[in-house]
Structure 1
Amino acid sequence: MTLRRLYVHGAGRRGAAAWPHADAADADFVSFPKESSIAEQADALVASFGDRMLIFAHSIGAVPVVLAADRLNIAGLVLVEPALYDIIRGDEAIERHIGIVSDARAQADAGDLRAFWAILRPLMFDGPFDPDTWDDERAVAQHWSTTNLPWGHGVRAGMLAGIPTLVVTGGWNQEYEVIAGKLASEGAQHIVLAGADHRAQDTPGFAAAVAAFERGLG
């Protein structure tokens, strides 16, 4: 019997739009309120979903799922490029990312959104700040200056002990690969599906990889 599926979005697209290739039959798509905290999101998952499920989580969406894992009925867990920075603090790539984002957020907190974007844009969007496109990008910068950060929530790899877990990465970013490596050392399966960078769920091989994982759940 096919398990019901729960899909948890990351920091960008929300709800079903975050999972355009997922079959909507026997599926629930989470859409967290934009202003909700990570803790509120974890509590909302527990309050809303009690059935045994195969849960999918993308990027920062993995954080509330892991925090709620011991309160959810999880048959299996598919983490796509999970932003579980807390589990591998001290790694060079992880600390570099956290340091740059922290510097950028300090500029935003001081009221200088333009300076924030000049720091964050090269890190997150593969290109330098361009004064000529600033007016067009201001709204995007404002969004990223206030989104939840994926670290500082007390997530530990051991929180998934006993839960069959598949980690899917895109092979493009060292941060996500070291996170996946840590989860694999704790018992998770890890596969790399290249071609879609941070959205490995959009690659042609994703559905087959999930089907093989689900068969292994018995």
Structure 2
Amino acid sequence: MVRERVYVHGGGRRGVDAWPHVDEGDATFVSFPAGSSIDDQAHALADELGGRPVMIFAHSIGAVPVALAAPRLDIAGLVLIEPALYDLARGDTAIERHIGIVTEARSRASVGDLRGFWAILRPLMFGGPFDEERWSEEQALAQRWATTNLPWGHGVRDRMLGGVPTLVVTGGWNDEYEVIAQVLADHGATHRVLPGHEHRPHDSGRFVHVVDEFVAALAS
């Protein structure tokens, strides 16, 4: 039976813009309202998709509401692309380092020090130092990152995906995502690495072939 394919965006582009290589006629694109909480997103997924057999593709932080909603969904197959399921890998050095830096940065933002926030977060997320000359053009981006949902602290547990056939695709560029992928693989997921596109390995020309192999295995 062919399942409806549902695509859940990450923290950047939304809806069809987040999945430019997907045929719109063969997909349902989820687009969460800006500012919605992770809990609201999980409830929205359960309300919208509950009772329908689906195959879900989720990118980055989009994997968090999917995992929370999974026990209430009929998921025939799950494709997680660089899933930000940090709760599954707490205690790992790379995971805790990332959380620690973001927590310190957020503490600056919470007292109104947006520059201080960006000076800490920018090198972590964008690979370059704070530049006073670029501050005016980056201030809006800094404000968005200071208030965006965090992917940890939501109680995601591996049992939420128990029994769901899962493919995890990473880019091989970031230890955090590789650690999370390994945890999922230890619990039965298939893990594939598609280098060359960093946080968007689904932009690789090989991605569709990896998915086709996964779907074929589901049918066997």
TM-score category of the 2 structures, normalised to the smaller one: over 0.9
AA of the residue aligned to 1:193:
L
Number of residues of Structure 1 aligned to a counterpart in Structure 2:
218
Match of residue 102 from structure 2: 101
Query: Displacement, 1:3?
Result: 2.3
Distance 1:54 1:22 in 2: 14
Match of residue 177 from structure 1: 178
Distance 2:158 2:81 in 1: 15
Gaps of 5+ in 1: none
Contact 1:158 1:186 in 2 (8 A): no
Distance 2:97 2:129 in 1: 18
Distance 1:159 1:77 in 2: 12
2:187 matches 1:186? yes
Match of residue 216 from structure 1: 217
Measured against aligned partners, the alpha-carbon deviations of 1:60-97 in whole angstroms (never above 9, x if no partner) come to 00000000001011000000000000001000000000
Contact 1:85 1:94 in 2 (8 A): yes
More helix by share: 2
Distance 2:115 2:190 in 1: 41
Measured against aligned partners, the alpha-carbon deviations of 1:123-177 in whole angstroms (never above 9, x if no partner) come to 0001000000000000110110000000000001121110000000000000000
- Secondary structure of 2:25's match? coil
- Secondary structure of 2:176's match? helix
2:162 matches 1:158? no
- Secondary structure of 1:12's match? coil
2:67 matches 1:66? yes
Distance 2:202 2:113 in 1: 35
Distance 2:158 2:118 in 1: 32
Distance 1:44 1:23 in 2: 23
Query: What do you get for the CA RMSD once the two structures are aligned?
Result: 0.8
Contact 1:6 1:56 in 2 (8 A): yes
- Percent sequence identity over aligned pairs: 65
